[in-house]
Structure 1
Amino acid sequence: MPDSSAGPCQHETDASFERLTRLYLENADAVDLAVGSHNMRSIAHAIAVREELGLPQAQLEFQTLYGMAAPLARALTDRGERARIYMPFGELIPGMAYLVRRLLENTSNESFLRQSLSGDEAPEALLADPARPEAGAAAPTVGVSDRPPFRNEPPTDFALAEAREKFSAALASVRSEFDRHYPLLIGGDSVETLAQIVSLNPSRPAEIVGRTASASPEDVDRAVAAAEAAFPGWRDRGVAERARVLGTAADLLRGRRAELAAWIVYEAGKPWREADADVAEAIDFIEYYRAQAVTLLAPERLGGLQGEVNDYLREPLGVVAVIAPWNFPLAILTGMTSAALVTGNTVVMKPAEQTPVIAAKLAALLHEAGLPPGVVNYVPGAGEVAGAALVDHPRVRLIAFTGSREVGTRIYAAAARAARGSRHLKKVLAEMGGKNAVIVDDDADLDESVQGILASSFGYAGQKCSACSRVIAVGRVYERLIERLVEGARTVPVGPADQPATIVGPVIDAESQERIRGYIELGKRLARPALIRDVPPDLAGLNGYYVAPAVFADVPVTCPLALEEIFGPVLSVMQAESFEAALELAMDSDYALTGGVFSRSAAHLAAARERFRVGNLYINRPITGAIVGRQPFGGLQMSGVGYHAGGPDHLIQFVEGRVISENTLRRGFASDRLA
């Protein structure tokens, strides 16, 4: 399919528009095309392609805006073309921004529309082929971080019957593999333990997804020893070979995408699209990091003095402990693991207790891709046992952790204590959650705002560290926004994760369910309940860990609902008198992970860019769904420490620098030293 994105130059955008016009007209049996444009060349091109393909005149519709390009609309109707004229109507005040935009387009001396309709432009200029820009036209801009080998993995389109049928078959196949046992993997060997972890399906907890071994401190010690023994060989393979092996792993993930997503549906309770995106993100992490590593790890020659050579090397650290969360059981686990591996480190992988089966699948896949024994070791276990042993181990060089603030701060403190026998200080990368706010300005597009907030708050039952849990409405938009949010939240589908329509599936376990219910009861006492939905009665027989969406208004700034990470489908709405006050309220938090602003005001958006200091700020869009390479993800303050995952700086944390300086002005020559 032709590139549908707008280019940085007008001619690029026009050329892309024409490619898409031809594509749709070539498929006129499946698509009805309407061309909404005031660009004479674009309109003429559409007519020419229609005639070239022998399509009837009625096959194509043109759309223009009332009060703009009236001569163009008349010319179309005079030709007998289907022409639709759009005219805005509605409330006056919200419509003023639209009116001002139209006035500027009609009256600005630099307006493309005004220039093209002035009668002063030569026909040759108006109809110039955008695919052949004039000499001297601006060249496409290419950012320094653009890397042609990397492309994001596209999401599965479940609107297609074929995709739905394939995933339904994968769900059925995976269900037939429930309740199998998965051992530890240490040094390439399977290791059994007396203790076990039983993984349940949160949609139907009576179903056992699988059972895994549960590592003891002794098992962890053996895993670290295996990783340490494998380190020199893996380090010395070189970045190109390591990238090749990881590329094989990415290909295996692609080939088993539906199967792995099905495991995520059952074990993590993620709905279809969320589970599919989890696998796509895992592939993205591998492909992005292996492309980055080839450049990052190339030796650098520094200086330029005669008689002196200075080489700067970036080399791996050693054994990396990867402690992963349950809410992105494949994506984050794969991201942290692949970052460590491609830079030449070896890994001891401890997944969350709620999702050990998906991690077992990843460990097996990595070995199938060609990782030598001991390079990746799989040690599921209790956090206070296996996790603590891994954090305290003297031969672990780096801890990559994603999880709660409580656990993350304990890890950070423990890592700072140099263990007996250790010859280094541990590094810690930690992502620890957020209390994320979305500001809705008084001039914001409410349709866009409500849609973005609902997706950010209730997708995957709010169990994302990036999820929106606070909404701050500016001025008079407050009550209208609450009304719209309530109506939207009332209709969000709640159900088992394996049902394709589900948006709000179960929360991860019974402990989380009780904790979230406690916050809802607290909200009833301390705030104004705008919506407290009951779990649909047809789910009662499943005994799943369901919590339906809840929306609270008039939430006091000191209320726990406004301060604490809930990690569930609970939304708090507050009012600010001004945009300045909204910014202060948004930043009044220990956390600073994600945030969002919906506004039409350029001045307010500029202020947000400067003062809304969170790791990821999203403007006029949802605040969840960061994409590797496009929106690197990470937090500030108590939301974490370390460079953003999926970004250009992330891999630097997995290496250390070394300088070799040689004086090449030798005195004398010893030939017997050549051998």
Structure 2
Amino acid sequence: MTTDVTSAARNSMRRLHRMAEPDVLKPMLNDARILPESRPRIERMARDLIEDIRTAESESWINQFLQEYQLSSAEGIALMSLAEAYLRVPDARTADRLIADKLGDGKWRTHEGRSKSRIVNSATWGLVLGRALTVEGPGTPLKRLLARTSEPFVRQAVGAAMKVMGEVFVMGRTIEEALKRMRKPVHRGFTASFDMLGEAAQTQADADAFYDSYWDAIQKIGRDEGTDHTISIKLSALHPRYEVPQYERCVPEITDRLAQLCAEAMHQNVAVTVDAEEADRLEMSLDIIGNIAKRPEFRDWNRFGLAIQAYSKRARAVIQWANSLDRHMNVRLVKGAYWDTEIKHAQVEGLSDFPVFTRKAATDVCYLACVSDMLKAENIGCGFATHNALTVATILDWAGDRRDFEFQRLHGMGEGLYERLVRDEGYHCRIYAPVGGHRELLAYLVRRLLENGANSSFVNQLSNDAYDDDDLLKDPVEKVEAVNCTRLPGIALPQNIFGEWQNSQGIDLNDRKILLETAHGVNSIEFTPEGGDAVHADPHHPSGRSRAAIEASRTPDADVHDAVTRAQAAYPEWDSRSIEERAIILERWADLLEENRIELMGLVVKEAFRSIPDALSEVREAADFCRYYAVRARKDLSLKELPGPTGEYNALKMEGRGTWATVSPWNFPLAIFTGQNAAALVCGNTVVAKPAPQTPAIARRVVDLAHQAGVPEDALALVTGGADVGAEMMSDQRIAGVAFTGSTATAKKIAQTLLVGEDRPIIPFIAETGGVNAMIVDSTALPEQVATDVLNSAFRSAGQRCSALRLLVLQEDNADEMIHMLSGAMDMLQIGDPGDPATDVGPVIDRAAYDKLMAYRETMRPRWIKTVEVPEDEGLFVPPTMISIDEIEDLNTEWFGPIVHVATWKAGQLEDTIARINAKRFGLTMGLHSRIARNADILRSQARVGNAYVNRSMIGAVVGSQPFGGEGLSGTGPKAGGPHYLPRFCAERAVSIDTTSAGGNASLLSLDDGM
């Protein structure tokens, strides 16, 4: 094969990645089609295989357990959640709460005695008893007797059950144990591909430990004489920053580590397969795999390969690529394990389409088309991983007399499907066999249960009485043709997830080519700060920038008094326009924001020092505000007739109040600036808008686009400058309302100013301010997820978000473990130029902020848990720092930068912990990481904050989904991006008309039927 074919395959991947589902599917239908003449033969084979599976299932308690507790039931979900979290809980008190939480809502008695398996029925009895002891409490004499030992009894029983499930799905706790288990008679004729369990590396220590475990396993597999076991390697385990923005850093390092493992595997004659992971990592993984495949020392080594996911629209192109490398490559074809993640990610990021098929039948079609390609390929060793009897029968028929391929199945699943084929007919089957301790199996186990418990899976349908064999054996090609290959209608495309308004457009920054093009465009935007070189010589390293210099250098665009005068003059005409006309202008404004997004992103990066992803989020949020408020205006501002007696007309109308003053911050210089002004304008008000003195250029361009969209120039007037300009705006008694986002101290000053003057009307004041935002973590939380969410919440945007995490409150039982992981993850942060795609943390906004944060940080030096040092002369980079405090009450100030404080709390004191945080009187955001649903209920009912987040980061509120704004010292409400925001900008005016005075009570008389 030539490099031209390789390049063509990569180009094809790019074209297919987000292509519409029908356009991807239709060209593969003929290659996946079962021909009429072979259909009876394939169906007979498939029915025989189904009988083999059912026979094995009748002897397998675990399959009957999964059938009894399907994921479509509340009990199945509860057990999955319990399995995911229980074994990592270190303290008995939390373990008991977790058990009670998961068993509490289930109707376990409805499962009693239903299974054919005595083991399953015994397990059900244990769950019924466990619920009685932990949830219902002692009542009968028997319960009172058992209650004395109920907690340790139930704890031990649940722990034992989790370990039994682990043994079913995991081959061994160590590679030695797994190899020994593979020698048992039940596995006669089968070989294994061992997978060393664990989630992706979060720290360098994690990556080193994974590397060592792979190396050790390769050596021990190689020494296991008379076997042909292999190993599967996850690239995400070899580097803690296996991400596209970190390409230049991670790809060479992973290539080097993988090469070392492959050299040892070649020496030990052990085959290596690189596992498939999320779609974002595919192109990166192919670069790494290609690097290994082309190395001279591995040129003739035929025991190297990769896994390919058939749910990916790019699957066939990846096979073409593997076949084009001019060497033998082994391919394991799988259906795919991250389907729900891929769907949600595309929707959240506002991408054009999904990288995966939305219908299970479409994935089956793609799988068969890939089988056809692989069987025809010259350089591919074929491995077909499937639990679907129809798929297996089809492969057997298409392969004919060939035996130069293998089937693969998961350990703990698919028993009975391959035993006869292996032992009686000479086919080869390899078991994908996880290896690891009980704690490491959790995420893997849940993923397996999700895959095989899904209603659309063959395993689930086989054991479901609602499906007969004819249903199971329907041709997937016929299924997708019946719906014209279309996407599953219940899954909205990313742009349509909000229904009434269009989701903002994202950029696929996990596509390296797109990322580099975007970064080039952003960094090419010309930007000259107001005030010139004396203020701000290098926007990437603003070491000389200070608040005083900025404010001194800026001359207001227009006199505030003149701007208010012009806005007031423009008000009658603008307010008289229809709601629909103003809404259309907002939607046009959103379109223009997106059309000019690279320019706007460049301004945000260079003037506000936000990273490229943060700059994109700014543009998207601004567009979302415009479209959402346009929709809400049509709903909320239209004339509403009200009830009353016959002969009376009553109505309520919402109209503009006059001229509003808006003051926006530098930390969201595009999104908040746009949102405040769009809301005021669509309600019929005119606006005098003042951006932060640090970010006037962004505001100026946004106002230009508003005028292009149709907002009259005088209806949206811009004034720039510092505190003196803001004070003049607030003191102008012609202002009809104020919308402000900034510090609590400034908000209080504005509130006082608005009350000065006996003749001044009482006007609305909308304030969004900051907070001492806390995240509570209990011992059921997954440390890897906590680490990711803490780093995002505390350090993204250099901690300069009003919603950023300031106080991390860890349960003392596992605080050390969490801190250890967080410290290692902090070491991986990239600090530098915000225009560099690899940058995680950029500079703070100006010298005043830098000096304040650095001075505070220095006073807390004895309390440092972890800090990430940066060169002192490189700019205004405040090192991300984790600081210990003794008590929650020790932090009552918002430190607006990359600093997070850590305190602890005791198990069983969640309510008290929340109350102590509430007592600070800040009420912006609060987070919780817990697998106990009742803990989430407690947070929801007791946290006095505008936004509560559970098991996710605390930043990135989405317009229309997560309306944003606080209470207490954190703001006045209403919440921006929510359904109650626009009415605050309006005057509500009711009208009542006595219609009898105009012509008698005609409406009543007309009802007379003449009797």
Name the structure 1 match of 2:806. Answer: 469
Shift of 1:463: 0.5
Deviations 1:594-623 (A, max 9, x none): 121111122222222222332111111111
In 1, the alpha carbon distance for the partners of 2:753 and 2:409 equals 65
Task: State the percentage of identical aligned residues.
Answer: 31
Q: 1:244 to 1:113 in 2, by over 3 A?
A: same
The answer to whether the Cα contact below 8 Å between 2:540 and 2:835 also exists between their aligned partners in 1 is no
3-state SS of 1:306 partner? coil
| Structure 2 gap ranges (5+) | 1-17, 22-70, 73-308, 323-330, 340-357, 376-381, 387-407, 484-488, 1001-1011
Once residues 649 and 409 of structure 2 are traced to their aligned partners in structure 1, the CA distance between those partners, rounded to angstroms, is 66
The match for 1:50 is 367
Structure 1 residue matching 2:776: 3-state secondary structure = strand
Separation (CA, whole Å) in 2 of partners of 1:435 and 1:406: 14
Equivalent position SS for 2:927 = strand
Alpha-carbon displacement from aligned partner over 1:130-188 (angstroms, at most 9, x marks no partner): 9899xxxxx9799xx9543332332452533244224313422324x55588xxxxxxx
Distance 1:387 1:64, change over 3 A: farther
Q: d(CA) in 1 for partners of 2:513 and 2:445?
A: 42
Instruction: Answer yes or no: is the 8 Å Cα contact 1:38–1:69 preserved in 2.
Output: no
Shift of 1:568: 0.8
Whole-Å separation in 1 of the counterparts to 2:838 and 2:550:
22
Contact 2:530 2:554 in 1 (8 A): no
Determine which structure has the larger helix proportion and give its number.
2
C-alpha contact (below 8 Å) 2:522/2:835 kept by paired residues: no
State the partner residue of 2:982: 651
Query: 2 CA distance for matches of 1:333 and 1:434?
Result: 20
Quick check: 1:474–1:579 contact (8 Å CA) kept in 2? no
What do residues 202-235 of structure 1 show as CA deviations (whole Å, max 9, x unaligned)?
733458999975339x921111111111111001
2:922 and 2:969 in contact (8 A); partners too = yes
In structure 1, give the amino acid aligned to 2:895.
Answer: I
Q: Secondary structure at the match of 1:301?
A: strand
Distance 1:197 1:334 in 2: 26
Change (3 A) 1:199 1:324: farther
Secondary structure of residue in 1 paired with 2:526: helix
TM-score w.r.t. structure 2 length?
Answer: 0.56
User: 1:7-57 deviations in whole A, cap 9, x for unaligned?
Assistant: xx98xxxxxxxx993734465457997324799x98776444333574326
Contact 2:798 2:843 (8 Å CA) reproduced? yes
User: 2: CA distance between counterparts of 1:514 and 1:49?
Assistant: 58
Find the partner of 1:557 among 888, 897, 906.
Answer: 888
Deviation, 1:554, is 4.4
Q: Which residue, 841, 845, 852 being the options, matches 1:508? A: 845
Q: 2 CA distance for matches of 1:165 and 1:343?
A: 39
Q: SS at the partner of 1:429?
A: strand
CA distances 1:371-408 after superposition (whole Å, capped 9, x unpaired) = 2231011111111x111111122111111000011111
Note if contact 1:202-1:268 (Cα within 8 Å) is conserved in structure 2. Answer: no
Q: Does 1:161 align with 2:513?
A: yes
Q: Counterparts in 2 of 1:173-192, with a 5 A limit?
A: 173-175=525-527, 177=528
Task: Specify the alignment match of 1:628 in structure 2.
Answer: 959
Q: More displaced, 166-175 or 307-316?
A: 166-175
Q: How far, CA to CA, are the matches of 2:978 and 2:20 in structure 1? A: 24
Q: Aligned equivalents of 1:262 and 1:115: distance in 2?
A: 50
Cα gap change, 1:22 to 1:564, in 2 (>3 Å): closer
- Tell whether 2:469 aligns with 1:123: yes
In structure 2, the residue matched to 1:224 is: 564
Q: CA RMSD of the aligned region, Å? A: 4.0
Equivalent residue runs for 1:572-591 within 5 Å: 572-581=901-910, 582-591=913-922
CA distance in 1, matches of 2:553, 2:385: 60
Residue-by-residue CA offset, 1:636-659 (whole Å, 9 max, x unaligned): 221111121111221121112111
Q: Where does residue 743 of structure 2 map in the other structure?
A: 404
Q: Distance in 2 between matches of 1:496 and 1:621?
A: 27
1:391 aligns with 2:730: yes
CA distance in structure 1 between the partners assigned to 2:704 and 2:615 by the alignment: 20
Paired residue total: 621
318-327 or 511-520: which moved more? 511-520
Structure 1 residues 105 and 111: alpha-carbon distance in aligned structure 2, compared to 1, 3 A threshold: farther
Contact 1:179 1:211 in 2 (8 A): no
Stretch moving more, 319-328 or 153-162: 153-162
Q: 1:277 to 1:420 in 2, by over 3 A?
A: same
User: So what's the TM-score if we normalise by structure 1?
Assistant: 0.82
Q: Would you say the 8 A contact 2:310–2:334 is kept in 1?
A: no
- What is the rounded CA distance, in whole Å, between the counterparts of 1:456 and 1:88 in structure 2? 33
Per-residue deviation, 1:313: 0.7
C-alpha change, 1:313 and 1:71, in structure 2 (3 Å) is farther
Cα distance in 2, alignment partners of residues 224 and 396 from structure 1:
8
Select which of 331, 351, 354 maps to 2:691: 351
Partner of 2:780: 443
Does residue 148 of structure 1 match 2:465? Answer: no
- Give the one of 289, 311, 330 matched to 1:21: 311
SS of aligned partner of 1:657: strand
Question: By how many angstroms is 1:85 displaced?
Answer: 3.1
Distance between the aligned counterparts of 1:477 and 1:584, measured in 2?
22
The whole-number CA distance in structure 2 between the counterparts of 1:490 and 1:520 is: 18
Counterpart Cα distance in 2 of 1:621 and 1:477: 19
* Paired letter, 1:214: T
Structure 1 window deviating more from structure 2 (204-213 vs 326-335): it is 204-213
Q: Deviations over 1:449-468 (max 9, x none)?
A: 10110111110110001111
> Where does the alignment leave 5 or more consecutive residues of structure 1 unmatched?
11-18, 134-138, 182-195, 670-675
Range with greater deviation from structure 2 (93-102 or 501-510): 93-102
Q: After TM superposition, list the pairs within 5 Å mapping 1:225-264 onto structure 2.
A: 225-264=565-604
Measured in 1, the distance between the counterparts of 2:604 and 2:858 equals 30
- Separation in structure 2 between the aligned mates of residue 104 and residue 492 of structure 1, nearest angstrom: 33
Structure 2 residue aligned with 1:214, among 542, 550, 555?
555
Query: 1:429–1:210: structure 2 CA closer, same or farther, 3 Å change rule?
Result: closer
For 1:317-336, list aligned pairs within 5 A: 317-336=657-676
Work out whether residues 571 and 715 of structure 2, in 8 Å CA contact, stay in contact via their aligned partners in 1.
yes
Contact 1:179 1:210 in 2 (8 A): no
Rg larger in 1 or in 2? 2
**Aligned-residue offset at 1:329:** 0.5
Per the alignment, in what secondary structure is the counterpart of residue 50 of structure 1?
helix
2:868 to 508, 533, 544: 533
Residue identity matched to 1:236: S
AA aligned to 1:263 is L
- Looking at structure 1, the residues matched to 451 and 885 of structure 2 have their Cα atoms a distance apart, in angstroms, of 41
Q: What is residue 611 of structure 1 aligned with on the other side?
A: 942
Q: 2:708 aligns with which of 360, 363, 368?
A: 368
CA contact (8 A) 1:455 1:622 kept: yes
Change (3 A) 1:318 1:179: closer
Q: Offset at 1:238? A: 1.1
- Identify if the C-alpha distance between structure 1 residues 240 and 98 changes in structure 2 by more than 3 Å, giving closer, same or farther: same
- Whether contact under 8 Å (1:210, 1:357) holds in the other structure is no
Please state which structure has a larger fraction of its residues in strand.
1
Residue 607 of structure 1 aligns to a residue whose secondary structure is helix
Q: Distance in 1 between matches of 2:938 and 2:428?
A: 47
Report SS of the residue matched to 1:647.
coil
CA distance in 2, matches of 1:624, 1:630: 13
Q: State the distance in 2 between where 1:261 and 1:97 align.
A: 37
Three-state SS of the structure 2 residue aligned to 1:23 is coil
Stretch moving more, 583-592 or 280-289: 583-592
